[in-house]
A and B are shown apart, each in its own frame.
Chain A
Amino acid sequence: DIVMTQTPLSLSVTPGQPASISCKSSQSLLFSDGKTSLYWYLQKPGQSPQLLIYGLSNRFSGVPDRFSGSGSGTDFTLKISRVEAEDVGVYYCMQSIQFPRSFGQGTKVEIK
């Protein structure tokens, strides 16, 4: 099974400042077609998770362009260029290259 490891587990950010979350997988998430099966989700307080990024770096419909995903193979990063108050919550990475699907532990982002 693939293990997903996120760092840091918590982050306190001043509004307008950037933020970065790292996610590492125990195996490569690269498909033979060149796509990477890495997702990022955000769970805002009291809400269901929502899809932010799919296929490593593609923003889901309606996701602001201050969010970006990058990385390759087993090392991935979610960046928020300028954090806003509405970005608070817990961010999860997830792999879907094989079953069982697996999530990272989550990174809690709060505003200073």
Chain B
Amino acid sequence: EVQLLESGGGLVQPGGSLRLSCVTSGFTFTTYDMGWVRQAPGKGLEWVSTISGSDGRTYYADSVKGRFTLSRDNSKNTLYLQMNSLRAEDTAVYFCAKDGTYIGGGSYYFLSHEYWGKGALVTVSS
């Protein structure tokens, strides 16, 4: 069973830093792309960042580029999101998400955000 468990959320002042962790189990961590999606209070989903499982290449939303850093520790099956220079608009629940693949009917499919964690709340406020 795939499990994604986020931690590290909390209250931080504007300009501060926080590191989110996502401990995973139930699949071969190194094989898959992983990332984060956030949801501000009462709002919709916003993709934040993705890291490749094959080469570690990272991708970021413009809203967090230069402030957030996504990394993975394959020896610990853990994903990290280092968040610096936090702003009030970064307040959200941050979901860890696993990408996947499916082969069936002679076709290969890539599955974005196949599985999700329960989320970690980050509140940026003075």
Contact = CB atoms under 8 A, between A and B. Distances in A.
B44 A39 contact: no
Contacts of B44: 90, 92, 103-106
Nearest to A104: B44
Nearest to B61: A100
A101 B118 contact: no
Interface in B6-24: none
B46 A103 contact: yes
A35 B47 contact: no
Interface size class on chain A is 20 to 34
Contacts of B73: none
B33 to A, nearest CB: 10
B111 A48 contact: no
Given A49-B45, A92-B44, A106-B45, A54 B116 contact: no
Given A48-B116, A106-B45, A99 B109 contact: no
A105 B44 CA distance: 6
B59 A100 contact: yes
22 contacts: A1-B62, A37-B110, A37-B112, A39-B112, A41-B45, A43-B45, A48-B95, A48-B116, A48-B118, A48-B119, A49-B113, A50-B116, A51-B115, A58-B109, A60-B111, A94-B47, A96-B112, A100-B61, A100-B62, A101-B47, A103-B44, A106-B45
Top 5 A-B pairs, shortest CB-CB distance? A96-B112, A101-B47, A48-B116, A99-B59, A106-B44
